[in-house]
Structure 1
Amino acid sequence: MLTVGVDLAAEAARTAVAWLGWEEGRARLTGVAVRADDDQVVRAVTGAAKAGFDCPLGWPDRFVDFVSAHRAGHVRVPEGVAGRVWRRDLALRVTDQVVHEQTGLTPLSVSADRIGHATMRCAGLLAELALRGRTVDRRGGGAVVEVYPAAALKRWGLPYRGYKRAANLAALGRLVDRLLEAAPWLDLGEHERVCRASDDATDAVVCALAARAAALGLVTAPPEDQAGVAATEGWIALPTAPLDRLVTAG
């Protein structure tokens, strides 16, 4: 099995792709691309059994309705409700709120933060994948599943904060050390140097690990009463099993 991880940013400059090949009892990082453009991302996903995207796959339904109502005339603000309370459902998707409840982490708001730019790019990529015949299901059932590296790392008992940007290279190195200790079956090979130098590359590897968990069914799925909204907003798949299950399951 080949899984791919995509740490998707609005532009290629901060986008990384990682390819993980899975054999019995082991996984090998067969490639890492930093500064990955749209064509690289699409080709990577097309050749993989499952791809994990670190990017929202959609916008909050209530935000979309809000903007549509505003364009048509005037929105109706709920009476007797604090502004930040009614705006929460505009800023956060259902899956974002579920992730917060389950992990204590709050994903960036796709409608009120700069990650919206990455989601615009993502929407184009998903459309291209669909044109090429890949099944795109924002709930995670198709070629792409939405993942959240910080939450995955936290669930696997690994460092999940403080390793971003060049100023924190030492912390990034410690994360890579901890990951290899926790997963001795993971071979980064010649690409380990890139992972230690680029948090984008490391996040892409984590995305590829989470994609493997999704392919094995070892992640959260939207319950029946949230499946409809997840189909439009997207759904963050959180790992539900220890890291070692990625090579022992099935």
Structure 2
Amino acid sequence: MFTVGVDLAAEPKKTALATISWHAGGASLDHLQVDVDDETVIDRSRGAGSVGIDCAFGWPIEFVEFLTAHAAGQLPERDESGLDWRRRLAYRHTDRFVRELTGQRPLSVATDRLGLTAMRCAELIDVFARDDEPVDRSGAGRVVEVYPAVALRQWEVVVRGYKTTAALRRRALEKLTARAPWFDVSDEHMRLIERSDDAFDASVSALIARAHYLGLTHAPPPEARSAARVEGWIAVPSTSLDDLLLSGAGDS
């Protein structure tokens, strides 16, 4: 079987896609490309065990309700205001869960520089649906939201600033493959990762997709499931890299 990872950007430029093939005792990075359009994402995802997309799948429910009321000129009376209230509007249930679990706060899709990419992701989710692949934003289906930086922290592969230089990306990949010596990366793909942090994040996203395929990520707790189906849910790995080699249906 194979998994797909997508590091999504607001346009095809700087969007990267990776596919990893899984077999008894190992895995290989089979395909890696940058400047990827939606059609390529759909085509490459057909037949994959799981598809991990590095982008928020939705916006905070309370934030959307606030904007809707504001647009109608009907902000309701409330007993709270101030920075704490605005921060609650800015973050999703999954963002707060990740912060409590890992100590790392995801960027806010409502207030940080993620909005344009999230708009493209919403369109991409719609393309999946029109290709007979309705996306459950809570991660109950084949397509799942991922966050490479959080997964790397969970797997103890932390190289600060890897997005900034080729040398740091090589170091990050070397650290990753040292912890997962069964993960085969060709020299050609190594060179592309050195040139592109997007290519590295796409590769990590495909590893997270494997964890999701095996059921080795943190699912939404019961009280957050309804919100997760609207806002999205980040699939954070719950086990080590080596556990990704657990036998899955379809592994050769």
TM-score (norm 1): 0.95
SS of residue in 2 equivalent to 1:58: coil
What's the CA shift for 1:160?
4.8
CA contact (8 A) 2:93 2:228 kept: yes
What's the CA shift for 1:114?
1.8
CA contact (8 A) 2:169 2:194 kept: yes
Identify the residue that residue 21 of structure 2 maps to in structure 1.
21
Identify the residue that residue 150 of structure 2 maps to in structure 1.
151
| Matching of residue 54 in structure 1 with residue 51 in structure 2 | no
The 1-side partners of 2:184 and 2:108 are apart by: 34
| Matching of residue 185 in structure 1 with residue 179 in structure 2 | no
Structure 2 unaligned blocks of 5 or more: none
The 1-side partners of 2:24 and 2:8 are apart by: 29
TM-aligned CA distance change 1:205 to 1:71, over 3 Å: same
What's the CA shift for 1:77?
6.1
Which shows bigger deviation, 209-218 or 45-54?
Answer: 45-54
SS of residue in 2 equivalent to 1:12: coil
Identify the residue that residue 174 of structure 1 maps to in structure 2.
171
Identify the residue that residue 241 of structure 1 maps to in structure 2.
239
What's the CA shift for 1:129?
0.6
CA contact (8 A) 1:4 1:50 kept: yes
Identify the residue that residue 102 of structure 1 maps to in structure 2.
101
Identify the residue that residue 210 of structure 1 maps to in structure 2.
208
| Matching of residue 162 in structure 1 with residue 161 in structure 2 | yes
CA contact (8 A) 2:24 2:247 kept: no
SS of residue in 1 equivalent to 2:5: strand
RMSD (Å) for aligned C-alpha atoms: 1.3
What's the CA shift for 1:231?
0.3
CA contact (8 A) 1:4 1:48 kept: yes
What's the CA shift for 1:117?
0.6
CA contact (8 A) 1:150 1:160 kept: no
| Matching of residue 3 in structure 1 with residue 34 in structure 2 | no
What's the CA shift for 1:159?
1.3
Task: For residues 135-184 of structure 1, give each alpha carbon's deviation from its aligned partner in whole angstroms, at most 9, with x where no partner exists.
Answer: 3110112121111101000000001531113xx22211110110111111
Identity score, percent: 49
- Alignment coverage as a number of residue pairs: 247
Which shows bigger deviation, 34-43 or 214-223?
Answer: 34-43
| Matching of residue 221 in structure 1 with residue 233 in structure 2 | no
Structure 1 unaligned blocks of 5 or more: none
Identify the residue that residue 72 of structure 1 maps to in structure 2.
72
Identify the residue that residue 92 of structure 1 maps to in structure 2.
91
Identify the residue that residue 44 of structure 1 maps to in structure 2.
44
Which shows bigger deviation, 238-247 or 192-201?
Answer: 192-201
What's the CA shift for 1:90?
1.5
Task: For residues 176-223 of structure 1, give each alpha carbon's deviation from its aligned partner in whole angstroms, at most 9, with x where no partner exists.
Answer: 110111111101123121112211101001000000000000000001
Structure 2 letter corresponding to 1:229: A
What's the CA shift for 1:249?
4.9
What's the CA shift for 1:116?
1.0
The 2-side partners of 1:77 and 1:98 are apart by: 28
CA contact (8 A) 2:159 2:168 kept: no
SS of residue in 2 equivalent to 1:105: coil
Runs of 4+ in 1 over 3 A off after TM superposition: 76-79
Task: For residues 23-72 of structure 1, give each alpha carbon's deviation from its aligned partner in whole angstroms, at most 9, with x where no partner exists.
Answer: 11111111011011111112122331210011000000001110111111
SS of residue in 2 equivalent to 1:192: helix
SS of residue in 2 equivalent to 1:30: strand
